Structures are given as structure tokens and as C-alpha cells.
Amino acid sequence: KMYDWLAGKSNLKPSRYLRAKDAKKSFPMLKAKGLRGGVLYYDGQFDDARMNVTIAMTAIQQGATVLNHVEVTDLRKENSRLVGATVRDRFTGEAFPVKAKVVVNATGPFCDHIRHMDDPQAPKMLSASSGIHIVLDKRFSPPATGLLIPKTEDGRVLFLLPWLGHTLVGTTDNPAKIESNLKPTEEDIQYILRHIEQYFDVPVSRQDVLSAWSGLRPLVSNPKASDTAGLSRDHIVHVSDSGLLTVTGGKWTTYRKMALDAVDHAVKVGKLSPLGPSRSEVVPLMGAVGYSEDLPKRLQKEFGLAEDVAQHLAKAYGALAREVATLAREGYGQRLADAHPYLEAEVLYGIRHEMGYTVTDVLARRTRLAFLDIGSARRALPRVLEIMGDELGWDPARRREEEQKFEDYLSDLPDFAKPQENGAEARAARSA
């Protein structure tokens, strides 16, 4: 009820208490033994990679210049004030300066690294906790209901959610070193599997895990805290003596408020003259204009797409799904992997319209295939290489390099290192 109250007018639907038998009906996989009841509440979900790309593309549409695969290696000062940064192109290795009236450090868990470029003595602002997600087949959850256990026996949160045609299960919350190529450990995966068995009536084995990944949560430090679950998830804005504006510690849910606060501070720090108050609350993200609930049906009718493909394209691209469907009609209409709705057309669209430059960009950050099913992503690799290579004019050496980089990206994952028969494709083939 507190949740309803906090959601106010934005509440999707009111929550209600469920008796044990109704809880079991809503989520049949739940163990009946020891079950006393539950609370049914409504929440939204999204594909964070699609959201991230869409925000970047919308920023470009609004006049921003966006660079990917480019990193800040140093900050530039004049008379002790920041005047820009030195950045390095990760492909060419070329470094070049960028002038700026205000430098905003929005590097999440890595923000102290940038702050130390500004002031090597700056005290650390953040610690990080790592959390993993694993992906299981859709049969592990009902199609439109998730389940959250707010406090497991060891005080963690456990959830099973229907997500992108699969079941997403998470998560862990462990103090972590801040590093960029974080990978889930076998121990983390086993921890989640053990907890599924404890609360759910579905036998689950390591072979059912299609994919797993780990992420860092930026947490505003409290030196007295011994457990990262108790640290603040709220964002803070900090301005250093030289004018470095750091915004960090927030969540996806609060991203727009984080941006608003950061820009308001930037106006003051840089003595900027904004044309007016922030409009981001009313600026639709790309693909929002022209979207309607019946878009999947219209795509099916107009382009002859399969139902799951039309649903996926509408969800992932909004009204821009028509552009992807047009590419599909022009000869890129095959699925990248059986039993998944991703199309060859999305590879081309990712390169042409969403700044996709590498195979990993396309398979992990434009489509979600590598996150959902590593085996299927591997099997899709040759065709993705072919489409990207032809479109971008890659020579055989570059194709081999891309293949190796994608393999490196996947290979640290404990049991996903070799092609194996645990993907949806393999199961589809078995049941055919």
C-alpha cells in the first residue's frame, strides 16, 4: 500500500494482498509449503540497452554530438579551472582535445577515476556493489507475472521476471572492486540457482542457464557501512574547486531527474544562458511519436512479419520498427537465430542508425541476443560478421579480429566458453 501511495497518480494499478492459494495461482512455480500469502503489485520493465541507445539517439536528434568507443584520458585546465578534456579514440588510438565550458562526470561507478584526474587527492566518493542476472527459458515464469522475494533467508532480494521472451533471475549484492570487465562467477550463478530451488517448485540445473552477466551499482560511500545493501542508491551532484561536475549514485528509474539536476548545476557552474527551462520531461524519445498499441498487428499485416518478430520490433524500436521492417523486406528478413525474434535487418539498422561499430555492439548492445542466449549468439556470429563486413567494408583481417573480440567478450563466462547445446535453438531443434 505504501508502494501505491508513493506511486500516486503514476500507479499502474492498485496493489492487493493475496491469500496463499491465490499467490500460487498467480505464480504456479512458487512452493506451496510454508507459503502464507503474497502481495500483487504492478510495475514497468524495459530493455536497458534499447533505452540507453534510444536516449543517445534522441540527444543527437536534439543537437548533441555523441561519440562512442571514445574515452576520457585526462582533463584540461587553464588557471586551475577546467576547460575541457583529452579523449582517446579506442579504435585508432588517436587522442584529441575537446573544449568545454562545463565538464560533467557521469561515469557511474568509475566517477572517482575521473575525479582523480582533476584532483589526485580527492577523497573517494563511491563504492560499488556487483549484482548478477541469469537468464532461463520462459517456462520458468508465467508470461505476464514476475515474483519478487523481498528478503531471502540471507536478507537479499530474489526475483524471477518474464523478460524479452525469457525469464530473468537476480540478483546478488556483493561489495566489488571497480573494474570494467566484470564477469559473474560460477559461485554467484550457483547462489541464484540454490535460491530458486529453495522458493520454487521448478527443478533447475546449470544447463538451464542460457546466459549470465554482472553489473556494478554505484553507491555513495558511507565509511561506516559494512554491507553494501545498506548504502544509498540516491544520486548526488558534486562540484569540485576546478568546476568538475560529478553526478553519480542514481538508478535507471531516476535517470531523468539525475540529468535535470546535473544540467541545472552545469548552468550555474558554467554561467550558461539556457534558452529556457528543461524540456526533457516533454521531449518524446525517438520512436515514441507514431507508436500505438496496435503497432505489432499493423507490422504483421503490412510486412508479413511473424507475430513474435512484430511484437519484438514494436517494443524495441517503437514507431521506428517500420524502418527495420523495411530493411527486412529488402532482403534482410531472416532471423539471426532460430527461436529468437531478432532479424538480420537489425544488424544493418544498428550500423546505419545507432552507431553500432563492432559485432559486440550489435549482438550485445543493440539487440540483446548475447545477453539472452550465448549459444545462439555464437551461432549467429558468421552471418553478423558477413552483414557488417559487407556494409562496413571490413577486410578478412578485420573480420577475424572482430570474431576474436566477440569471443573474448564471451569467453570469461565460466561455462559458456565453448559452444554447447544449452540454447533455445538446441531445445527447439530437439523438440522439432
Ligand X SMILES: Cc1cc2nc3c(=O)[nH]c(=O)nc-3n(C[C@H](O)[C@H](O)[C@H](O)COP(=O)(O)OP(=O)(O)OC[C@H]3O[C@@H](n4cnc5c(N)ncnc54)[C@H](O)[C@@H]3O)c2cc1C
Contact positions vs ligand X (CB under 6 A): 71-72, 106-110, 114, 131, 133, 170-171, 215-218, 248, 250-253
Nearest distance from C-beta of residue 335 to ligand X, angstroms: 29
295-303 and 307-317 are packed helices; what angle lies between their axes, rounded to 10 degrees? 120
The grid coordinates of residue 341 equal: 525474434
> Which residues, at least 6 apart from 20, have a Cβ–Cβ distance to it below 8 Å?
32, 35, 36, 37, 38
User: Alpha-carbon dihedral of residues 56, 58, 64, 66, nearest 10 degrees?
Assistant: 20
Nearest distance from C-beta of residue 116 to ligand X, angstroms: 11
Euclidean distance between the first and the last CA atom of the chain, given in angstroms as a whole number? 47
Select 131 or 341, whichever has its Cβ closest to ligand X: 131
- On whether the CB atoms of residues 321 and 408 are closer than 8 A, the answer is no
Select 72 or 377, whichever has its Cβ closest to ligand X: 72
Select 51 or 288, whichever has its Cβ closest to ligand X: 51
- On whether the CB atoms of residues 222 and 234 are closer than 8 A, the answer is no
Select 73 or 420, whichever has its Cβ closest to ligand X: 73
Nearest distance from C-beta of residue 129 to ligand X, angstroms: 7
Burial readout 140-151 (b: 16 or more C-beta within 10 A, e: otherwise): bbbeeebbebee
Nearest distance from C-beta of residue 173 to ligand X, angstroms: 8
DSSP structure class, residue 149: E
Select 84 or 170, whichever has its Cβ closest to ligand X: 170
Which residue number is nearest to ligand X in terms of Cβ? Answer: 108
Nearest distance from C-beta of residue 371 to ligand X, angstroms: 12
* 89 φ, ψ (degrees, to nearest 5): -75, 120
Nearest distance from C-beta of residue 380 to ligand X, angstroms: 24
Select 215 or 341, whichever has its Cβ closest to ligand X: 215
- On whether the CB atoms of residues 133 and 139 are closer than 8 A, the answer is no
Select 114 or 337, whichever has its Cβ closest to ligand X: 114
300-306: which pairs have CB atoms within 8 A and are 24 or more residues apart?
303/328, 303/329, 306/341
> Shortest CA distance to 225 belongs to which of 190, 182, 173?
173
Nearest distance from C-beta of residue 151 to ligand X, angstroms: 17
3-class secondary-structure state, position 347: helix
